[in-house]
Amino acid sequence: MESLLRAIKWERERDSRKGIFSFAKTPAERAFEERERERDGSGGYGPVLSQLVFSSSLAVMYILIKAAFEHGMNRYVFVTYRQAAATVAIAPVAFFLDR
């Protein structure tokens, strides 16, 4: 218990010498966070925006699939078209990035 109190006292003295509180950020931490925000380009909302785009695209895909099946499209034909579209979309990426 005494060593814990000594450690707390030492941290308070250290913080008072720096002129900051223990919850305040150092200039290096503030600069790092600023660079991260600038690099992200969306003000820190990158993960939220990507999740919204992903969820929206899944909803649109579900609606299109449901409409296609209600109009009588065969499930095997749909799977074939879906695989062909995926191949056309991914093949250029694989071709240019695998060089």
Using DSSP, how many helices (H) and how many strands (E) does the chain show?
4, 0
CA dist 28 → 1, 73, 87 (Å): 33, 60, 46
Q: Which amino acid is at 62?
A: Y
- pTM, entire model: 0.47
pLDDT digits (tens, 9 = 90+) for 44-83: 677 888 899 999 999 999 999 999 999 999 999 999 999 9
Percent of the chain with pLDDT over 90: 42
d(CA 44, CA 35) in angstroms, rounded, equals: 11
